Structure 1
Amino acid sequence: MGWGSSACRSPRQRFASSGPGRAALALVLVGVLAAVLLAASCLRPPEGPDGAAQESGGAGGEGSPAPGYEDLLATPAAEELPGRLVVYFLDVGQADASFVRTPGGKVIVIDTGDSPDDVVGFLRAKGVERVDVLVLSHPHADHIGGALRILEEFEVGVLYDSGFVHPTWVYEETLAKALELRDAGRLTYVAARAGQVLEVDPSVSVTVLHPEEPLGDEANDASVVLKMVFGSFSVLFTGDIEEAGERAALARSAELGVDLGATVLKVAHHGSRTSTGPEFLEAVHPEVAVIQAGRDNPYGHPSPVVLRRLSEAGVTVYVTASHGTVIVHSDGEDWEVVTGH
């Protein structure tokens, strides 16, 4: 299957049609051309020190701003019915945030974007009062920016993070709040380590495949990697692991006897060329890949190298910058992808 195509085992196509006359169409084209010319006169892509566009990014959530939770809610609603696993890969710009509702109604949040407002607003609009499990894959701001607000405004059952220490105010404030809640008996706080099984919903298996001690010097490669399994359907969440972390996850999953293969791969590090190596991709052999990246981001994410690699492997690719929030829902056998755009 190719780039951006629909993927499901119980197909349901959605089409939008319109029929403007020639005059109306001309007006639309003039407006679009004017907007393009204005944008071209005002914007210039950032360049690296050698004058080339930058592809590999750092920790921050730079690029176009996140669309805001109102836009997240404009995504077509998935069937959040008993007996279904629903995974939202939220369009939060150049950042990561995923929302999971299990068949038993439990809520899992994996990373929280870089803006407190987006994910918190989304959770409130969804009627969430309790986050059963909050997972922070690693301490970069584009993955934990909304965590403090979630800890302040929602009941959280268990917080898992990588345990990697990162000297930034957003990490330190989040850590301080987590320790305060833990000491008050209001939160269970766990350093995620390979081999742990998250107790959330008896119908869903969630296993930590990475990291393990020692963590090393790179926050990205210490990212928490989770495999979520519901029946024959599975999702692999990878944080920002790069090729060294991928090799470690491959080795550890083999030791644990866990098949790394997954129906859906959350592509690591926003589709950077430093991730999704050939060996890792071959082991996962996903049917669908989701890349969370911002529109016109300064890093060139997703990398054309990674997109080509996924395409050659026959993987259907969705990018939040193009498709908006991506929802995958399953009854444990059949599954469907629904996008906001």
Structure 2
Amino acid sequence: MEFKSLNTRFRAYQLGNEGSSFSYFDGSSFTLIEARVTETSAPSIIAELKACGKTRIDCLHITSWDTDHCRQSELEEIIESLKPTRIEYPGYTPHTDSGKECLKIVQAHINSKKIDSTYVSNLDNATNWTYHNILYNNSKTYENANDNSTIKLFRSGAFTVLSLGDLEKSEIADYLLGTGDIIKEEVDVMILAHHGADNGFTTEKFIQGVSPKVAICTSNYDNQYDHPKPEIRELLYENSVTLYTTKTGDVVIKTIGDDTIAYKAINLKANSTEVSSDKDFNTKRYDHWL
């Protein structure tokens, strides 16, 4: 098995309103996950780019056309100020006027890639324990747009992050578990599907199958849906998965040590660099290597 020492960072951003925003840096490439940037999150994104030695984002990865994942004015700001080299966007047709306008903007970008079943099926098959990111081919198109979210495992860095968008259907969770060993063995950090909703996707079977060490939920402190749901919190606790949310501040996960075999998860206080709590973990790649 190949083992690389890579400076890796992940951040979940507090937006100040409903929605999701994350970034993943693998030591060279910086990906912003979701087309969201607010007055609250903008300074944190700039700070994160600086911490990674970057001045612009390499990739903008959008999982859904819903406004809590992609908002027209914020998409335009990201393209103008953060200048993504590449945009990856959902393969399903938007059903809202906002989504349709966002699609036009994305398609006008010089380097945009539609992540649909045709594109994914033409990619090379993934190999266990390598450093190549994986897009999963959910070949069906569902009536519920949430279930058409783009699915990606970011594993080009020292630790891996599974992005699930707003998925709801249990059959998609079963499909992912049936794709082989990679998703069962290599996920360090999992972004909870649909902000931690208890909708049938995040089940004990799925949590035990993926066995992430850390779960991330983006949600306002007083969000109307009470995300993450108490049932999901209990499920994670019972399966020894550490939960972090953006209710009280950003969540930063970064490699530590010269060999980057471990990472630290930090919950910051709102609008601050002050640490609220932190915890250290070994990467699954290192556990496997041992």
TM-score normalized by the length of structure 2: 0.75
Aligned residue identity for 2:188:
T
Partner of 2:9: 86
Post-superposition Cα deviations, 1:235-264, rounded to whole Å, max 9, x if no partner, equal 21111111233223223x22xx53334111
Partner of 1:315: 241
Q: 1:110 Cα shift?
A: 0.8
> Cα gap change, 1:231/1:109 in structure 2, threshold over 3 Å: closer, same or farther?
closer
Aligned residue identity for 1:162:
P
Partner of 1:8: none
SS in 1 for 2:92: coil
- Between the aligned partners of 1:314 and 1:259, the Cα distance in structure 2 is 18
Q: 1:192 Cα shift?
A: 4.5
Aligned residue identity for 1:98:
F
Aligned residue identity for 2:261:
E
Pick the aligned partner of 1:170 from 98, 103, 110.
98
- Between the aligned partners of 1:189 and 1:159, the Cα distance in structure 2 is 6
- Between the aligned partners of 1:165 and 1:303, the Cα distance in structure 2 is 29
Post-superposition Cα deviations, 1:117-162, rounded to whole Å, max 9, x if no partner, equal 4555544454554321111111111011232321233322221122
TM-score normalized by the length of structure 1: 0.65
- Between the aligned partners of 1:192 and 1:336, the Cα distance in structure 2 is 34
- Between the aligned partners of 2:42 and 2:192, the Cα distance in structure 1 is 24
SS in 1 for 2:88: strand
Partner of 2:149: 223
Partner of 1:134: 60
Aligned residue identity for 1:91:
Q
User: What are the within-5 Å matches in structure 2 for residues 179-218 of structure 1?
Assistant: 179-181=107-109, 186-193=110-117, 194=120, 196=123, 204-209=131-136, 211-218=137-144
- Between the aligned partners of 2:82 and 2:215, the Cα distance in structure 1 is 30
> Cα gap change, 1:230/1:153 in structure 2, threshold over 3 Å: closer, same or farther?
closer
Partner of 1:110: 33
Identity over aligned pairs, percent: 21
**Which ranges in structure 1 are unaligned for 5 or more consecutive residues?**
1-81, 198-202
Post-superposition Cα deviations, 1:17-67, rounded to whole Å, max 9, x if no partner, equal xxxxxxxxxxxxxxxxxxxxxxxxxxxxxxxxxxxxxxxxxxxxxxxxxxx
User: What are the within-5 Å matches in structure 2 for residues 173-322 of structure 1?
Assistant: 173-181=101-109, 186-193=110-117, 194=120, 196=123, 204-209=131-136, 211-230=137-156, 233-242=159-168, 243-251=170-178, 253-254=179-180, 258-261=182-185, 262-274=187-199, 275-322=201-248
Aligned residue identity for 2:115:
A
**Which ranges in structure 2 are unaligned for 5 or more consecutive residues?**
125-129, 270-290
Q: 1:332 Cα shift?
A: 4.3
- Between the aligned partners of 2:42 and 2:113, the Cα distance in structure 1 is 20
Q: Is the 8 A contact 2:67 2:99 kept in 1?
A: yes
- Between the aligned partners of 1:313 and 1:230, the Cα distance in structure 2 is 26
SS in 1 for 2:14: coil
**Structure 1 runs of 4+ with >6 Å offset:** none
Post-superposition Cα deviations, 1:203-261, rounded to whole Å, max 9, x if no partner, equal 8421112x43232212211111111225763221111111233223223x22xx53334
Post-superposition Cα deviations, 1:169-207, rounded to whole Å, max 9, x if no partner, equal 3312221112222xxxx223232545647xxxxx84211
- Between the aligned partners of 1:156 and 1:280, the Cα distance in structure 2 is 33
Partner of 2:274: none
- Between the aligned partners of 1:149 and 1:308, the Cα distance in structure 2 is 38
Q: Is the 8 A contact 1:163 1:192 kept in 2?
A: yes
SS in 2 for 1:141: coil
Q: Is the 8 A contact 1:231 1:333 kept in 2?
A: no
SS in 2 for 1:259: helix
Partner of 1:339: 267
SS in 2 for 1:244: helix
Partner of 1:156: 84
Ranked by relative contact order (alpha carbons within 8 Å, sequence separation 6 or more), the top structure is 1
- Between the aligned partners of 2:160 and 2:32, the Cα distance in structure 1 is 16
> Cα gap change, 1:325/1:124 in structure 2, threshold over 3 Å: closer, same or farther?
closer
Aligned residue identity for 1:337:
A
> Cα gap change, 1:204/1:116 in structure 2, threshold over 3 Å: closer, same or farther?
farther
